[in-house]
Structure 1
Amino acid sequence: MHHHIFESELVHLERVVACGSQKPFPATYWRDRVENLKNCPQAPMYRYRIARLSRLVAELNA
C-alpha cells in the first residue's frame, strides 16, 4: 500500500473507531480493517497507532 494511502486509511480509522459504537458496522468489520493495516510494509513505523486502534476496537466488543 502506498504510504499516502496507508496514512489516509489510518487517520480515517482513528476518527471512525473513536465513535464506532454510533456506526452501523459491527466491531468485527473495524477489527478486520485494522488487522489489514498490520500486514502492510509501513506497519512497523505506525505500530503504536495500530495497537491503539486494536485496543479501541476491542472495547467496542465490550
Structure 2
Amino acid sequence: MHHHIFESELVHLERVIACASREPFPPTYWRDRVEHLKNCPHAPLFGYRIARLSRLVAELNG
C-alpha cells in the first residue's frame, strides 16, 4: 500500500472508529480493517496509532 493511501486509511479509521457504534458495521468489520493495516510495510512507523485503533475496536466489543 502506498504511503499516502496508508496514511489516509489510518486517518479515516481514527475518525470513524472514535465515534463508531455497533451499527451499521459490526466491530469485526473494524477489527479486520485495522488488522489489514498491521500487515502493511508502513505499519512499524505508525505502531502507536494502530495499537490505539485496536484498543478502540476492542472497546466496541464491550
TM range (shorter): over 0.9
Q: Which has the higher helix share?
A: 1
Poorly superposed stretches of 4+, deviation over 3 Å: none
Q: Equivalent residue for 1:14?
A: 14
The Cα shift of 1:43 comes to: 0.1
RMSD: 0.9
Q: Specify the SS of the correspondent of 1:20.
A: coil
Task: Supply the AA of the counterpart residue of 2:56.
Answer: L
For residues 19 and 60 of structure 1, the distance between their equivalents in structure 2, rounded to whole angstroms, comes to 10
What letter corresponds to residue 61 of structure 1 in structure 2?
N
TM-score (norm 1): 0.97
User: Any gaps of 5 or more consecutive residues in structure 1?
Assistant: none
Q: Where does residue 24 of structure 1 map in the other structure?
A: 24
1:10-46 CA-to-partner distances (Å, cap 9, x unmatched) read: 0000000011116410000000000000000000000
TM-score normalised according to structure 2 size: 0.97
